[in-house]
Structure 1
């Protein structure tokens, strides 16, 4: 079967939606109604398209358990934004714009997953994403099923048909002697050998990964959206 030539994109029909509109449609069709209402999704999009957003300065994190203080400190020291920082008033329980008090724990968790999806989609409009993880050899939960593995990373890599980021960089903040070590690339190429060459002999405390009951789903992984029709 003949592949669709890339040069055909130069002849995008005038009556078709532009690429930005299609990207936005794919995003909305994914977050609504699984995670967010349309009003909630639009509120988060408005927040991420406001002056608070700094291109290529976002931090995601996974496998760090209750160490959000460590994540927050890294982000602020490097002039970067976690989801919580980027959400601003939408995640401040003292602000009337925050919906946490109006939701159950389960509903709030679903809202945060939707916000994470939009956060990742917005990051993909730039060039670089940074993720804070445990150090090699096991950087990600071997059981899977984390928000990063099921939602954020797939979106960063373009599963919604969006443009993937050029690079995903990794940082391992739990290793104190590595605090000044620069982030290294894990996507599209995994250069963890750069880290291992310097810190491979460092003794790390054993991390206990959160177990997963695979009979219970707390949310569905992000999947490719349905293709849109022109007729």
Structure 2
């Protein structure tokens, strides 16, 4: 009987303990769905820690169990705000879209550079502008990490998905997509080929 396990990327110590216990309980994990959202100024850095670094830590902790599955899958819930067209630096956009040359270390370095610039003129340095800049960087980095992970582990299906503007408490119920439909879109992407980004139920460009 399948079991649903809820984990928080903002509580890594607790997550690691839970994963260690689960590792003794189960031999494998078939599907990992990852979703998170945050954003102010200290909140911007917390957003990066939660959406990007926290996601990586959860996936890293669960990776041995996913690889033990005959059909391991990872679906990272992203956002249309993570598209690279929102970056003002064209050279950086091209670099982050070059999946063959991209590495986890380079994505980490980009996130670290943005974190250093958060306090002074980030947009002027070619970063995404506006109140959601940290969220945009975190989701773009998550998309790129998903592509790197899919290339590194071809036995896994790794995708990221923007389920649409879902009607939830987080969107103050202004969302256009019913929660059931948003959830169905996320789960559906677990069945599709790896290394892609899906938006509103269709494959879409990362840029």
Asked if TM exceeds 0.5, the reply is: no
Q: Higher helix share goes to which structure? A: 2
Q: Highest CA radius of gyration, 1 or 2?
A: 1
> Whose RCO is larger (CA < 8 A, sep 6+)?
2
